[in-house]
Amino acid sequence: MRSFSLFSLLSLSPLLVNGQLSGTVGPLSSSSSKASTKTCDVTDYGAVADKKTDIGDAISQAWDDCSNGGVVYIPPGDYAMSTWLKLSGGKASAIQLDGIIYRTGSDGGNMFMIEHSSDFEFFSSTSKGAIQGLGYEFHKDGSLSGPRLLRFYDVQDFSVHDIALVDSPAFHLSVDTCTNGELYNMAVRGGDSGGLDGIDVWSENIWVHDVEVTNKDECVTVKSPAKNILVENIYCNWSGGCAMGSLGADTNISDITYRNVYTWKSNQMYMIKSNGGSGTVENVVLENFIGHGNSYSLDIDGAWSSMDTVDGDGVQLTNITVRNWTGGEENGAERGPVKVVCAEKAPCTEITIEDFAMWTESGDSQSNTCENAFGSGSCLQEGDGSSTYSTAVTDTAAPSGYSATTMAEDLTTAFGTDASIPIPTIPTTFYPGATPYSALAGAGSAAATPAATAAAASRMRRRTWH
Residue 153 sits in a domain whose CATH number is 2.160.20.10
Q: What's the domain range around 170?
A: 18-214
Out of 167, 210, 292, 301, which one is annotated catalytic?
A: 292
Say whether both 192 and 247 belong to one domain: no
Which residue among the candidates 162, 167, 197, 217 is catalytic per the annotation?
A: 217
Q: What is the pLDDT of residues 380-392, one digit of tens each?
A: 999 999 999 999 9
The answer to whether residue 32 sits within a structural domain is yes
In a domain, 291, yes or no: yes
One domain for residues 120 and 208: yes
Answer yes or no: is 341 within a domain: yes
The pLDDT, as a whole number, for residue 19 is 63
Q: Is 225 among the domain residues?
A: no
Q: Does 367 fall in a domain?
A: yes
Same domain, 36 and 84: yes
Q: Does 416 map to a domain?
A: no
Residues 273 and 381 in one domain: yes
Tell me if 449 is assigned to some domain. no
292 is catalytic: yes
Q: Tell me, what DSSP letter sits at residue 45?
A: G
pLDDT value at residue 449: 65
Do 209 and 290 fall within a single domain?
A: no
Positions in the chain short of pLDDT 50: 1-18, 453-461, 465-466
- Phi, then psi, of 62 in degrees rounded to 5: -65, -40
Q: Tell me, what's the pLDDT at 142?
A: 87
Give me the pLDDT at residue 193, please. 93
Q: For the whole model, what pTM was predicted?
A: 0.93
**Domain match, 196 and 109 both:** yes
Domain check: are 180 and 251 in the same one?
no
pLDDT of residue 60: 98
Q: State how many domains the chain has.
A: 2
Query: In this structure, are 179 and 243 located in the same domain?
Result: no
Domain boundary among 390, 410, 430: 410
207 in the same domain as 243: no
Domain contains 430: no
Same-domain status, 66 and 208: yes
Query: Quick one: pLDDT at residue 462?
Result: 54
Task: Answer for the pair 247, 273: CB distance below 8 angstroms, yes or no.
Answer: yes
Confirm whether 301 is a catalytic residue.
no
pLDDT at 14: 28
CA distance 128 to 206: 24
Residues 197 and 251 in one domain: no
Contacts 24+ apart (CB under 8 A), 449-455: 449/39, 449/73, 450/31, 450/32, 450/34, 450/35, 450/39, 450/71, 450/73, 450/96, 450/125, 451/32, 451/35, 451/36, 451/39, 452/32, 452/125, 453/32, 453/36, 455/125
Residues 133 and 244 in one domain: no
